[in-house]
């Protein structure tokens, strides 16, 4: 589904964020990208969503070479992804319903479909009763769930989450992770960057980065302790 | 197609929300556009009105041909026949010195004894209406008429009309330049307002880009905002223009007795009103399109 082949990313100032990354992500896989701060986790996710371009090497997503993607095609690529950020990136002048409906408007989906799909997405994350509420009134965990609802509403094939539980308490973090697992179970590829690998009851892949290098890549089935 | 229109409706809706959420600055923008468009529009309206009057005057212009005092009747007949054969002459009116003298006396209520004049001082005259304003043709005619025996003097009465027309033409050019400059000013003002709005909605733009919005999708509400600014400003310009005409005409009628005449400005016809509004909307659309495009490009999240 996604293939990294000898990918390097160098930021201005000769700072190597990623070095010689070779990685394959399969459909419906749950992937944890782990490593300390500055290891290149976010850069890896940014390369997948074409927020950044690699300095060298190739990234292929469903036969599309992302390294050579034209700027005008990038928005259409991103519509394949549901993106979740540590700081939620919600629009605080719009209510929950309007926040979640934004990707549908972008995807030219209109009319009754919007209402049905937004309500379904909000229901999945347990926020159906808060559709008219402004995001600022929600707790941190609820805001992240709202961000997940926005990410899943257009039914993307891949969910990309950059430190989605970084700002949350343990209880909320587990809640969010369980939502991700439920999507992986129905065939969505889920890529999550995190400092620490959470205790995960399902099969997953761990991609460990240190100083921009891939230090380990392995499949695990981790059972709850 | 339905979804496309729905999205446009949503963008329009968002633009309306932005305008109403900041109603005071939106009203200011309407006034700025209205007043800026009012200036050249009112100038052109006045020039148009004066032009129409000058056109009417032009049709009444005459060439006055005064004959020598001792001219004989057969010479007058000869001149009349020569004039009637000239193609650029539309109408000839002969006024004998006796008729002219009688008219003058009755108009000024004069008694010959009071004036102390023993004889009629006025000459016989032809008053000629021309069917052209071609300066060359008129000068040739005047030169030819001067060579005829018995012709004392010739006056071309429409000279001032030509001068007025020239002045109006220059004013029109000046107003057109002013209009162009003011349109540029409007583009800059609207563009800058839209640019500031893009900065206010920076987060929204960045999030939209991250979840797959094209630049044209992001631009849409800003373009509608510019369009609505233009619509409001256009209406403001038309209303101000109508109000000014009403006030001017009312004042003109009130001063009729004092000035001995009135100068009534003709109101704009509906096509002209629509034109002003459409021009304002196009300016708003154009300015917001380029300002939003430039600004949104700067928010490119690539490194």
| CB A6, CB A56: distance < 8 Å | yes
Measured CA angle at B214 (ends B233, A76), to 5 deg: 165
Best mutation target, A91, A110, A135, A143, to test chain B (most B CBs within 10 A)? A110
For residue range B140-189, list pLDDT tens digits in order.
Answer: 888 888 888 888 888 876 666 677 777 878 888 888 888 899 889 989 99
Of B211, B214, B303, which is closest to A83 when you measure between CB atoms? B211
- In which band, very low, low, confident or very high, does the pLDDT at B302 lie, cut at 50, 70 and 90? very low
Strands (E), A46-201: 56-61, 64-65, 81-84, 158-162, 189-194
Is B3 within 8 Å of A79 when comparing Cβ atoms? no
Best mutation target, A93, A150, A155, to test chain B (most B CBs within 10 A)? A93
Q: What is the DSSP letter of A92?
A: T
Is B6 within 8 Å of A103 when comparing Cβ atoms? no
Q: What is the mean pLDDT of residues B129-141?
A: 80
Domains annotated on chain A, with CATH: 1-80+157-225 (3.40.50.300), 91-155 (no CATH)
Of B211, B215, B303, which is closest to A102 when you measure between CB atoms? B211
3-class SS shares of chain A: helix, strand, coil, % to 5: 35, 30, 35
Q: Which residues contact B97 (CB under 8 A, 6 or more apart)?
A: B69, B120, B122, B123, B124, B125
pLDDT of A191 strictly over 90: yes
For residue range A57-106, list pLDDT tens digits in order.
Answer: 999 998 889 888 888 899 999 999 999 988 888 999 889 999 999 999 88
Query: What is the rounded distance in angstroms from the CA atom of residue B231 to the CA atom of residue B271?
Result: 15
Best mutation target, A43, A69, A91, A105, to test chain B (most B CBs within 10 A)? A105
Chain A interface includes B56 (CB < 8 A): no
Is A108 within 8 Å of B7 when comparing Cβ atoms? yes
Look at residue A89 and give its three-state secondary structure: coil
| pTM exceeding 0.80 | no
Q: What is the mean pLDDT of residues B32-57?
A: 80
Domains annotated on chain B, with CATH: 2-57+162-298 (no CATH), 62-157 (3.30.70.3040)
Task: Specify whether the backbone of B239 is left (phi greater than 0), alpha (psi in -120 to 50) or beta.
Answer: alpha
Kindly report each contact of residues B218-221 with a partner whose C-beta sits within 8 Å and lies 24 or more positions away, as own/partner: B218/B292, B218/B296, B219/B289, B219/B292, B219/B293, B219/B296, B220/B7, B220/B8, B220/B11, B221/B11, B221/B12, B221/B14, B221/B15, B221/B18
| CB A135, CB A87: distance < 8 Å | no
pLDDT of amino acid A146 = 93
Contacts of B301 in chain A (CB under 8 A): 51
Of B3, B204, B215, which is closest to A110 when you measure between CB atoms? B3
Chain A interface includes B108 (CB < 8 A): no
Of B4, B302, B303, which is closest to A108 when you measure between CB atoms? B4
The residue of chain B with its CA nearest to that of A153 is B211
Chain A interface includes B20 (CB < 8 A): no
Contacts of B214 in chain A (CB under 8 A): 72, 75, 106
pLDDT of A223 strictly over 60: no
pLDDT of B112 strictly over 70: no
pLDDT of amino acid B265 = 80
Q: In the structure encoding, which two tokens stand for residue A149, read together?
A: 């609802």
Query: What is the rounded distance in angstroms from the CA atom of residue A150 to the CA atom of residue A153?
Result: 5
Of B2, B206, B208, which is closest to A106 when you measure between CB atoms? B208
pLDDT of B33 strictly over 80: yes
pLDDT of amino acid B303 = 38
Chain A interface includes B207 (CB < 8 A): yes
Question: What percent of chain B clears pLDDT 70, i.e. is strictly above it?
Answer: 88
Kindly indicate whether the ipTM for this predicted assembly is greater than 0.95, answering yes or no.
no
The residue of chain B with its CA nearest to that of A114 is B3
Chain A interface includes B115 (CB < 8 A): no
């Amino acid at each position: 589904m996604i293939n990294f082949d000898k990918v390097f990313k160098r930021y201005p100032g000769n700072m190597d964020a990623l070095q010689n990354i070779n990685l394959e992500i399969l459909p419906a896989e749950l992937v944890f990208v782990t490593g300390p701060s500055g290891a290149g986790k976010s850069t890896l996710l940014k390369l997948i969503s074409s927020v950044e371009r690699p300095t060298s090497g190739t990234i292929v997503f469903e036969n599309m070479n992302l390294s050579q993607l034209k700027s005008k095609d990038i928005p259409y690529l991103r519509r394949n992804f549901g993106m979740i950020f540590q700081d939620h990136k919600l629009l605080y002048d719009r209510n929950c319903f309007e926040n979640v409906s934004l990707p549908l408007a972008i995807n030219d989906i209109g009319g009754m479909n919007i209402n049905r799909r937004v309500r379904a997405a909000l229901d999945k994350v347990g926020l159906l009763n808060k559709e008219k509420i402004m995001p600022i009134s929600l707790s941190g965990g609820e805001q992240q769930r709202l961000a997940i609802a926005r990410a899943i509403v257009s039914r993307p094939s891949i969910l990309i989450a950059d430190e989605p539980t970084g700002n949350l308490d343990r209880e909320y973090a587990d809640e969010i992770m369980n939502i991700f697992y439920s999507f992986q179970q129905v065939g969505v590829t889920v890529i999550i960057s995190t400092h620490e690998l959470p205790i995960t009851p399902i099969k997953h892949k761990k991609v460990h980065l240190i100083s921009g290098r891939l230090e380990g890549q392995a499949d695990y089935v981790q059972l709850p302790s | 197609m339905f979804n496309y229109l729905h999205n446009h409706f949503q963008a329009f809706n968002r633009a309306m929300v932005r305008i109403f959420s900041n109603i005071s600055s939106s009203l200011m923008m309407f006034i700025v556009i209205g007043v800026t468009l009012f200036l050249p529009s009112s100038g052109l309206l006045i020039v148009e009105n004066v032009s129409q009057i000058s056109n009417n005057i032009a049709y009444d212009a005459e060439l006055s041909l005064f004959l020598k005092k001792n001219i004989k009747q057969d010479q007058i007949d000869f001149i009349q026949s020569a004039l009637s054969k000239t193609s650029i002459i539309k109408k000839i009116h002969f006024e004998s010195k006796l008729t002219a003298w009688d008219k003058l006396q009755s108009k000024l209520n004069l008694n010959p004894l009071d004036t102390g004049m023993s004889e009629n001082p006025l000459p016989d005259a032809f008053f000629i209406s021309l069917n052209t304003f071609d300066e060359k043709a008129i000068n040739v005619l005047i030169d030819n008429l001067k060579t005829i025996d018995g012709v004392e003097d010739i006056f071309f009465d429409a000279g001032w009309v030509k001068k007025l027309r020239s002045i109006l033409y220059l004013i029109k050019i000046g107003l057109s330049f002013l209009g162009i400059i003011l349109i540029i000013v409007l583009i800059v003002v609207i563009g800058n307002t839209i640019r500031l709005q893009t900065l206010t909605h920076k987060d929204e733009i960045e999030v939209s880009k991250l979840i797959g919005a094209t630049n044209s999708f992001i631009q849409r509400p800003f373009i509608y905002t510019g369009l609505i600014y233009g619509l409001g400003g256009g209406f403001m310009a038309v209303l101000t223009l109508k109000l000014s005409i009403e006030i001017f005409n009312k004042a003109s009628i009130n001063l009729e007795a004092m000035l001995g005449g009135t100068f009534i400005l003709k109101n704009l016809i509906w096509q002209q009103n629509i034109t002003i509004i459409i021009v304002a909307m196009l300016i708003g659309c154009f300015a917001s399109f380029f300002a939003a495009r430039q600004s949104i490009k700067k928010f490119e999240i690539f490194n």
